[in-house]
Amino acid sequence: MKCPPLFSIGLFLIIFFIPSDNMIAQSSNTNKTMEAPKAAKKPKELVTHGHKRIDQYFWLNERENPEVIKYLEDENKYTEAMLSGTKELQDQLIKEMKGRIKEQDQSVPYYYNGYTYYTRFIEGGEYPIYCRQKGRSGGAEEILLDCNEMAKGHSYFSSTSMEVSPNNQFGMFAVDTIGRRKYTLMFKNLTTGEILPDRIQDVSGNAEWANDNKTVFYDVKDPVTLREYKIMRHVIGTSIESDQAVFEEKDETFSCYIGKTKSHKYLVVYTSSTVTTENLILEADNPSGSFRVFHPRTRNHEYSIDHLNGSFYIMTNDQAKNFRLMTCHEKNTSISEWKEIIKHRDDVFLEGLELFNGYYVLSERAEGLPRIRIIREDGNEHYLDFGEAAYDAYLGANPEADTKVIRYGFNSLVTPVSTFDYHIETKEKKLLKQQEVVGGYDGTRYQSERINVKVRDGVMVPVSIVYRKDLFKKDGSNPMLQYAYGSYGISMEATFSSARLSLLDRGFVYAIAHIRGGQELGRHWYEDGKLLKKKNTFYDFIDCSTYLADQKYTSYDKLFAMGGSAGGLLMGSVINMAPEKYKGVVAAVPFVDVITTMLDASIPLTTSEYDEWGNPEDKDYYNYILSYSPYDNVEPKVYPNLFVTTGLHDSQVQYWEPAKWVAKLREIKKGDELLLLYTNMDAGHGGASGRFRMLKELAMEYAFMIDLAGK
């Protein structure tokens, strides 16, 4: 329900455009010409713990009801009419953003198991083409999947990449043409090019090969809740009906998926809830065998495993809130045999691990920023140096264990996405590719900052900021877009976006508030922004807004806010608490009907998230969630201008949450500020598919803010 919305960091470049005064005047006039649609009231009484709520718009959850579809379509027409004065601006924004994309492009290749793999795009192509060449370089290109061809005839299309069998003869991939994240798993003979008749529906899209080149393990989704609850075994060429379940997760608060260790020796079933995990293992050479528990689940114990050279490596939070690294021999995985190799640290959060022969690489986080740490078997270690105040760094494709060269990626608010190879012995960095911004991009024209804001309870919250130097005056005159997420322990990185240049080049300042509920400053940062401490997330965002205005980065009449999914919940709560601080707000696929959703176990993801929000069947959680749930706290007051988006087929946040919220706001709110709802009738949680199609919705959101800012 509430994972972050998908968006592209992109391959986008700069064109300058300043809308005319006539355009702004036209838009302002248009905004008052059409009457807003109103949803019919059909009261439904909801009673919990003796407390009665009347939901006037509960009926909007009837997805197949023609009256619901008509209402959503009417809202779309209203939104288009209200933004019609910005049509020229939207077209210009699309032209700018598309113009920055290198249409004919290719990823940095990586080598694995005798082949070099890469992805490329063709001019005008919406979707990737997955390819390989035999050997390390120079072989004939073999197209594994041409997603442009596969997408023909579909208004929405999403495909996983090709997973190739160990003998390189077969590939499997999964396709979703609805946007509901219910995939169909398919197989291809890579020698003949034939698509095999085996088709497995209603899966997650995640699957793994056993080492016999014919057995596949895949995740199955519950048809109602969409929870990944079962792992099935399929043998290529046999009927789907004969597939066998090798694991079923009966606890509705858990989900499961299949994986494979770096050594390719073990298949792993990873099953987890918000605060608890359990792993099961099976030798990949023995696909007909039974999975066995690596370490049994214990409430509040999270761990993950990998394997190489006869040993398992375990990242665990057992007696280690920020996680520590341990190891054990593969023949005895009892926790009493785990040996610590990286201690717990209060000021460093352990996020990831990549194993190699003779060394391993840790992904860590300290002072809110990612770090890459290389540790050799002889005990020598060092960190990579990135040289910027706010950035994102991460390990890239490293499928081979026997190498002295690691692949990593780097970007920042001013540096485009860059891919490097790093030699661990010579410490040489080799830039393989930097995202090209077509038309030319000069990063020296932009300034990034990293500041800390003291919020109401004395905690210091990091904020990453970027602006164009020659357009910024620290006198409150610049419009600002403040973004945040703040849930699930997901850290918001200071990443590059060429699309964002369309805001920066019009004088906008862009700020990311690294609020509690994420994990930027370690596990405590997450725990202090969830359950009965959830309001810290909202207070942090509001207090950062106050500070940024007080310090003249912007002013309240020029401050915009944006968040999506659980970040949309943030937006809804913030404008209930402090509407006067924002000129406009974009709430993308927002999770705003929290109490009703968390009381309905049939809705996708609800049961697995009791440890994030709380189970409202418990009266204390009910009262606390009810106190901040945006839909339940709409009041008759003036709200900021509001642009809300959703997708009819959204599997994470059901479309009716934002639809109900907008309907209630229309009924109750005061003032003439814009209130717009846009529903993508062909898509789900991630919005439109395709690298160019997605620009339409982004241009609408940007035009909404640019016009209100008078830029």
Domain boundaries, the chain: 445-689
CB neighbour list of residue 354: distance below 8 Å, 6 or more residues apart = 262, 360, 361, 363, 395, 398, 406
3 state SS of 544: helix
CA gap 201, 218 in Å, rounded: 11
Q: What is the reported pLDDT for 13?
A: 24
Element holding 233 (H helix, E strand)? strand 228-235
Longest dimension (CA), the chain: 75
Residue 492 has pLDDT above 60, yes or no: yes
Give the Cα separation of 554 and 271 in Å (integer). Answer: 45
pLDDT in tens, 111-161: 999 999 999 999 999 999 999 999 997 789 999 999 999 999 998 888 989
The answer to whether 178 and 649 have CB atoms below 8 angstroms apart is yes
Predicted confidence band of residue 32 (pLDDT cuts 50, 70, 90)? low
Span 460-488, mean pLDDT? 98
- Amino acid 34: pLDDT: 80
Q: Which of 234, 295, 649, 685 is catalytic?
A: 685
pLDDT tens for each residue of 226-248: 899 999 999 999 999 999 999 99
pLDDT at 16 over 70: no
**685 tagged catalytic:** yes
Q: What are phi and psi of 21, to 5 degrees?
A: -60, -35
The pLDDT of residue 1: 38
Measured between alpha carbons, how far is 23 from 338 in angstroms, rounded to an integer? 67
234 is catalytic: no
Q: Is 154 marked active-site?
A: no
Among the residue ranges 30-44, 296-310, 618-632, 644-658, the one predicted with the least confidence is 30-44
Q: Which of 528, 593, 650, 682 is catalytic?
A: 650
Q: Which CATH superfamily is domain 445-689 in?
A: Alpha/Beta hydrolase fold, catalytic domain (3.40.50.1820)
pLDDT reported for residue 682: 80
pLDDT, position 267:
98
Closest CA to 234 of 258, 212, 217: 217
Going from the C-alpha of 541 to that of each of 82, 128, 241, 535, 545, the distances in angstroms are: 29, 37, 51, 10, 6
Average pLDDT, the chain: 92
Predicted pLDDT of residue 33: 61
At 270 the three-state DSSP class reads: strand
**pLDDT class for 454, splitting at 50, 70, 90?**
very high
Over range 281-306, report the average pLDDT.
98
Q: Residue 684's pLDDT is what? A: 64
Residues 303-342: tens digit of each pLDDT:
999 999 999 999 999 999 999 999 999 999 999 999 999 9
pLDDT at residue 542 is higher than 70: yes
Whole-number percent of the chain with pLDDT over 70: 94
Extract the tokens encoding 197.
């008749």
Check 204, 464, 545, 565 and give the catalytic one: 565
Q: Is the pLDDT of residue 4 over 50?
A: no
453: phi then psi, degrees, rounded to nearest 5: -115, 125
Residue 218 CA to residue 174 CA, distance in Å, equals 11
Is the confidence at residue 281, as pLDDT, over 70? yes
Q: Minimal CA–CA distance to 147: which of 186, 112, 110, 180? A: 186
